[in-house]
Amino acid sequence: MINNFLLKEFGGRIRYLRIQENLSQEQLSYKTGFHRTYIGMIERGERNISLTNMAVFAKVFKLTVDELLKFDNSKELLEKYKLKTED
């Protein structure tokens, strides 16, 4: 079964970028068009968002999608991430 590690890492990245831009969740909500509670759920790793929604975040933060998905610990991330077929 896929674990939530990747979702939490992505959510942490969104939170980090939002704080770096000095934005509240409400302000980010306005910029993205997503509901504030949806953003909170993403930041807590509770939502598995679509690629198109990732592109919206990337645009707001003036990044490419691949830049948005760059995590500081990406090597560890891949080692800890389990695929459905690995159970």
Q: pTM of the entire structure?
A: 0.82
Q: What is the pLDDT of residue 29?
A: 98
User: Which residue segments constitute the domains of the chain, with CATH numbers given?
Assistant: 5-76 (1.10.260.40)
Burial class (CB in 10 A: 0-12, 13-18, 19+), 54: middle
Per-residue pLDDT of the chain (87 residues; tens, 9 = 90+): 356 778 888 999 999 999 999 999 999 999 999 999 999 999 999 999 999 999 999 999 999 999 998 876 656 656 666 655 565
Closest CA to 49 of 61, 25, 32, 74: 32
